[in-house]
Structure 1
Amino acid sequence: MKFYGIFREGSKVNQVICAVLINLPVLAYGASIGWMSPMSLLLQSDHSPKGIPLTDAEVSYMASAPYLVCIVFDLVMAYVGDKVGRKLALMLLSMALATSWIILLCSFETWALIFARSLVGVTMAGCFVNCPVYTKEISDATIRGALGCLVVLFQTTGNLFLYIIGDLLSYRTTLWICLALPTIHMVVFVFMPESPSYLVKKGRIEEATKALAWLRCRSASDMKVQEEIQLIMKEQNNDKSVNKFFLKNIFTDQILLKAFQIAMVVTLAREVCGAIPVLNFAGDIFTLASKDGGLVLSPNQQAMLLGAVQVIGSILASSVVERSGRKPLLFVTSLISGLSMCLLGSWFLLRDYEIHAPSWLPLMTLCICIFCDASGLQPISIVLTGEIFSYKYRGIVMGVAMALASVSDFLQLLFFKPLAKTVGIHVSFFFFGIVCLLTSLYVIVVIPETKTRCLEDIYEDLKKNKTNEDKTPIEIKDEITRF
């Protein structure tokens, strides 16, 4: 196979093209989440396209429905991806989202609005289960981290895109643009290859070799392509010798258990870093920040600012992850996020005691928290979870991790405000800060570096890291100074 077009042999451009198209549903999903910000304001206004304003209860159901559906479909989409393939699973995601937009275009009935938003939960689940796994399986080891970070970059870009067009364009025009995104994906993605790992699992070795050759811009007979196919086959042959009950394997194998613990810890750390409630309290914080400083932003402008910060952070993650490695980037963003949350908690505490504090401080800490979430905590936790498991476990563990994340998000949205009023909002932010600081310590002591490394090497580190649990504080301090 000598056709490479304008691409030189061994070029990574086909992998980039494929990864971009794999993550196009994430862009569409990000737009669907961002849609709620400007459109809920419009639908509740006197100029509502429905004719009468929506109630707070109706908007609350619309906002929370995707998260409830996502809890179940995190596991469903992991199963679907393993059974029918990554490619078809992605096509189903776009189909679900396209259906959601069509319903919104056709009806203003309350049940239709809530059902349409519920379908977003299907896409939400698949985007964070299937897209990272698919991206990992088509990527060369030297760029899989950068391509793995695209999932967060595309989500945040989709959010910002909708914040902007939702503020500028009409209700129906915005819906038509949103419908175009998953539709284009379904048409274009037909031409992309299936995951080589899935094809090998199904015994379709020749197809897997051709797919991998196209992705690597090499001939199917190229030695590097053949070696990579052999490596995939070896990994899957090792999985065949173990029990079919995934959870039993994980809890009886010490290395798999350690990897599973790491996946769950980084997932929870990502969700409990404070980003979810910070975004929820953004309006209040901006209002407080504008009292003395003269900074007056509309709700949509607030959303645009936060969206821009997220995009900048996710661009940084994609740019530096292959140079810095997973471990340093996750450590630094956890540490800075923890310090910013503690600083925000201190600001609220000082305000409660009527002690003057700079009005720009909450705005600054809010942006730092969102930036750290987008540049490290979100993308690296997703990339890391995909890299520390073999094909057999990768999809289902990602599904369990995302289900845990969905439950965490739902509970935070449900209980954060009542708890903040009961114990004080400063206590909540101190809690988030402590979680992030403990995460940074966990990263240093437990988590191995996975950059450009094969699974066998990573598991060798996990075996060695079991002894880290007995390290003294001085030894842990020596580890930290390496950064």
Structure 2
Amino acid sequence: MIRCETVQLNSFRMIPELLRKRYWKQFAAVNSVHLITIAYGVTLGWTAPIIPILQSAHTPLQSGPITVTEASWVGASLAIGGMTGSVVFALLHKKYGKKAGLIMLAIPHLILWSLLWAGDHIYYIYVARVLSGLTGGGVITIVPLFVTDIAERKIRGALGSLTILHINIGVLAAFASGSYLPYYLVPKIMLCLPIAFLVFVCLLPETPYCLLRKGRTDEAEHSLMFYRNITDATKKTIAFDCEFENMKSFTEAETHAEKLTLNDFKSRAAFRALFISVFVMALNQFSGILAILMYAGTILLAAGTPVESKYTLILLPLINICGNFTSFAIIDKAGRKVFLLTSTIGVGVSLGMLGLHSYYADSSYAEDYSWVPVLCMCTTMYTAALGITNVPFFIIPEILPAKLRNVGNTISFVLLCAFAFITTKAFPILLDTIHIYGTVWISSGVCAFGALVIIFLMPETKGKNLFVEDCKEGNKEKVNCPKE
């Protein structure tokens, strides 16, 4: 029996020590990859400060101010690109490996910022937004799998939660730069992000799992040594040997496994895993978080708060980032299910309170408590960052069976983009027809239903050893899996 060593992360205060010793290369690699995630976050938040400028008489476009319909397509076209990007980059990383897939993420991003720099018509913006979605689809497809491939299971949750943190850093940068910098200066600055991303990713080795799939065992071992910060073969530990044997067993099991067929989707376990994967993506969007962030200024103004829009644009991403840090610090100790449930209940209650305040907006009571919408929005953003906006992106590789992991990821992320298109197009219409209270009460109801699903159907995946579990799954006669 091979017994693997483990390290328990007890608190966020241990992170500097871990960065200095055993885990720092994993943190460095994930943060290097997340440069493109920051860049995507910039394009995600770009519309909030820029659309009012494009609609004004001072628009920088030669074609003149854009209409409301054109503005809605500027927002929604990102989701169209996202659906395409999820499929395209899933095929690319499957064929060429995750490093090659990551490198190709920079191409549409370089083009889109060039278009925004040079373009003087709305059609340039449409194309740029589709390319932004293309990158976003690739980010949510490849990056969580890259993290899963290189991260030790004790810190996999913490590293996985960094995705949404970097997106929010990008959103904050977009809100600040779009509000205070000239329109054509922003693209010039943002071109630096994909260029820096390319440089750093080229320095990283391919993931051990991808190298094993190609039969390059020696390179895979050296790659794992790099990510485990083992500088010399003589310093390899029993834990390292155990982990590498688990990876090889998993790859061998995958090689001998039969090709994916329709019957693989019919088992109860597969159906449950796919249902949960689609559910967490639906919860991510129909809870209204993305739409609320995009239309935060409109919501607060209509709710009767005296807070100016430009301050709200800075405040909400900062609150989101605080929630991300909280999640990052303790999610591997508390667990995915607990965080997602806490987040869902928190968002549902906060939006319910926002709707209640809006419903009584014309009363003297509402005038005396004009600060309530600000508090509700801040609470919504903070609690959403604990789980709804980050857990779905790294729980899916943990919950799907090995055979369905790639196709399940693709299905989930394509549906995520479809859900995003629906919410971003429908949200302003709902605000106009059923007002704020009706709109946010729908999202609150979604959260209530989501909490029930989490309680009764979702398993806990904290600390799950993917390679051991996968090699055991349906391959007991073919592979002798090493034990921990």
The answer to whether the superposition gives a TM-score over 0.5 is yes
Q: Which residue of 2 aligns with 1:203?
A: 215
Secondary structure of the corresponding residue to residue 270 of structure 1: helix
- 1:31-57 per-residue CA deviation (whole Å, 9 max, x = no partner) reads 112222223333333333334533124
Structure 2 residue runs of 5 or longer lacking an equivalent are: 1-16, 474-484
Following the alignment from structure 1 to structure 2, what is the Cα–Cα distance between the partners of residues 148 and 88? 20
1:344 aligned to which of 344, 347, 354: 354
Does the Cα contact within 8 Å between 2:150 and 2:227 map onto a contact in 1? yes
Determine whether 1:232 maps to 2:247: yes
Q: Which moved more, 1:168-177 or 1:320-329?
A: 168-177
Q: After the TM superposition, which residues 66-215 of structure 1 pair with which residues of structure 2 at under 5 Å, given as runs?
A: 66-215=78-227
Q: Which residue of 2 aligns with 1:415?
A: 426
Determine whether 1:443 maps to 2:458: no
Following the alignment from structure 1 to structure 2, what is the Cα–Cα distance between the partners of residues 346 and 42? 32
Q: Which residue of 2 aligns with 1:244?
A: 259
Determine whether 1:277 maps to 2:291: yes
Q: 1:177 to 1:434 in 2, by over 3 A?
A: same
Q: TM-score, normalised by structure 1?
A: 0.86
1:311 aligned to which of 306, 311, 321: 321
Shift in Å, 1:14: 0.6
Does the Cα contact within 8 Å between 1:306 and 1:370 map onto a contact in 2? yes
1:262 aligned to which of 276, 287, 290: 276
Determine whether 1:431 maps to 2:456: no
- 1:304-350 per-residue CA deviation (whole Å, 9 max, x = no partner) reads 12121111111221112122111211111111111112222222333
2:388 aligned to which of 377, 381, 385: 377
Q: 1:82 to 1:281 in 2, by over 3 A?
A: same
- 1:57-104 per-residue CA deviation (whole Å, 9 max, x = no partner) reads 433332221111211221221121111111111111112101111122
Shift in Å, 1:386: 1.9
Does the Cα contact within 8 Å between 1:274 and 1:341 map onto a contact in 2? no
Q: After the TM superposition, which residues 349-368 of structure 1 pair with which residues of structure 2 at under 5 Å, given as runs?
A: 349-351=359-361, 354=363, 356-357=365-366, 358-368=369-379
Q: 1:439 to 1:296 in 2, by over 3 A?
A: closer
Q: Which residue of 1 aligns with 2:4?
A: none
Does the Cα contact within 8 Å between 1:14 and 1:217 map onto a contact in 2? yes
Shift in Å, 1:302: 2.1
State the Cα RMSD in Å.
2.6
Following the alignment from structure 2 to structure 1, what is the Cα–Cα distance between the partners of residues 255 and 439? 46
Structure 2 counterpart of 1:232, one-letter code:
M
Q: After the TM superposition, which residues 451-462 of structure 1 pair with which residues of structure 2 at under 5 Å, given as runs?
A: 451-455=462-466
Work out the number of aligned pairs and report it: 450
Q: Which residue of 1 aligns with 2:334?
A: 324
Following the alignment from structure 1 to structure 2, what is the Cα–Cα distance between the partners of residues 391 and 22? 24
Following the alignment from structure 2 to structure 1, what is the Cα–Cα distance between the partners of residues 440 and 382? 16
Q: Which residue of 2 aligns with 1:65?
A: 77
Q: Which moved more, 1:419-428 or 1:95-104?
A: 419-428
Q: TM-score, normalised by structure 2?
A: 0.86
Following the alignment from structure 1 to structure 2, what is the Cα–Cα distance between the partners of residues 70 and 264? 16
Q: 1:225 to 1:320 in 2, by over 3 A?
A: same
Q: Which residue of 2 aligns with 1:466?
A: none
Q: 1:336 to 1:459 in 2, by over 3 A?
A: farther
Q: 1:277 to 1:421 in 2, by over 3 A?
A: same
Q: 1:417 to 1:8 in 2, by over 3 A?
A: closer
Q: 1:315 to 1:249 in 2, by over 3 A?
A: farther
User: Equivalent pairs: percent with the same residue?
Assistant: 25
Secondary structure of the corresponding residue to residue 332 of structure 2: helix
Structure 1 residue runs of 5 or longer lacking an equivalent are: 1-5, 463-483
Structure 1 counterpart of 2:415, one-letter code:
L
- 1:426-457 per-residue CA deviation (whole Å, 9 max, x = no partner) reads 33322321221222232222222211222488
Shift in Å, 1:425: 4.2
2:59 aligned to which of 48, 55, 75: 48
Q: 1:209 to 1:103 in 2, by over 3 A?
A: same
Secondary structure of the corresponding residue to residue 378 of structure 1: coil
Following the alignment from structure 1 to structure 2, what is the Cα–Cα distance between the partners of residues 120 and 454? 34
Q: 1:262 to 1:301 in 2, by over 3 A?
A: same
Structure 2 counterpart of 1:416, one-letter code:
F
Following the alignment from structure 2 to structure 1, what is the Cα–Cα distance between the partners of residues 422 and 45? 20
Q: Which residue of 2 aligns with 1:26?
A: 37
Does the Cα contact within 8 Å between 1:317 and 1:374 map onto a contact in 2? yes
